[in-house]
Amino acid sequence: MTSKNFGQLTFDELRFLLAVERTSNLSKAGEVMNLSPSTSSRTLQSIQSKLGEKCFVYTSKELVGTEYFSKIKPTIEQLLLLSEDLLPSGFSPRTCRRCFRISCMMAEVSHIMGGIIPRFLKEAPLARIHLEHNDNEFEKVMSGAVDFAIVTRVALPPEIHYLDLYPIDRVVLFRKGHPLSKLGRPLRSYDLQLFDRVSISTGRHNHWTSPDQNVFPFEKFRERTRFSTTRFNTAWEAIEKTDLIAICGYRAAEIGVRANKLDFLPLTDEIVQPNIWNSLIWGERVHNDDGCIWLRRIFSEWGREETERVKRKLERISYQH
């Protein structure tokens, strides 16, 4: 390809080509660049027309880069790297129109995004976050299909980068008036063994299958589980109407208490130790990306404040009991 061909493309068009290669999907690449599906299709057609070559071809499931694209990709990356030096102030959240893709399966994701979105919009009023649910979040992160995922930091692949957001701070959730609410003392392991429960499935097949993991070490696999679910909100009404209990994170319990007549108590160190953290994870593809570095700062600031907020609340609850 000649320099004349390159001269016909804008930096955004070059970024779009890399987004298509990273996501293997025209619509998802469009979301990254904040383009509609129809605009994405027209953009790719326009780029290929200018270059006089096909950059991608469709297989049965996805878009795949052609041999021609493999040859020009290093030059595209070099041009975009050089373009960063031409920008007077580098990345600017104020003018960013990008769509950041995040995957999360957690019950408290609404609380997390409720803390992030106001900060995000204040600094980047033209940008967008797309939240989705994926069974294999590690694969999505490493392939570049999403920019970030929010997961429980247990057994992360070595090539994954992470930022700790907050400790899970596990609690036991139950209906108002439940016998556990009348103990008048800190919980003991024995207290929990008296009741059947709801188990939250995390979707991960090993290492971290449920928040009640390691809480009942002498029990056969889910021997006292009467309802298991990947969507914790589907259990709240059942917990409200029975003596079932559930082990969950403090933030998930907060949401449940607002929605139903429920209450909770923190688990003591005798029952669960040490705390496990929920973390923001990302792959090498976006590790040095200016936009993602900026968004990681937003998450980091919120995470520190959130950790302190819950720490103070748990201290008050423990004091009362």
- Domain coordinates of the chain in residue numbers? 3-86, 98-165+282-320, 170-266
DSSP 171-234: EEEEETT-GGGG--S---HHHHTTS-EEEE--S-SSS-S-TTTTTSTTS-TTTTEEEEES-GGG
Q: Average pLDDT in the 70-89 region?
A: 72
Q: Tell me if domain 3-86 and domain 98-165+282-320 are identical in fold.
A: no
Query: Where does residue 131 fall: left (phi above 0), alpha (psi -120 to 50 degrees), or beta otherwise?
Result: beta
CATH class of the region 3-86: mainly alpha
Span 271-292, pLDDT tens digits: 766 678 999 999 988 888 889 9
Domain 170-266, what architecture?
Answer: 3-Layer(aba) Sandwich (3.40)
pLDDT for 83: 62
pLDDT for 56: 92
CATH class of the region 98-165+282-320: alpha beta
Q: In this model, does residue 79 exceed pLDDT 50?
A: yes
pLDDT for 107: 83
CB–CB of 224/234 below 8 Å? no
Q: In this model, does residue 302 exceed pLDDT 70?
A: yes
Q: Average pLDDT in the 39-50 region?
A: 90
Q: Which helix (H) or strand (E) is 131 found in, with range? A: strand 128-132
% of residues, the chain, pLDDT over 70: 90
pLDDT for 36: 80
Span 101-130, pLDDT tens digits: 999 988 889 999 999 999 999 999 999 999
To the question of pTM greater than 0.75 for the whole model, the response is no
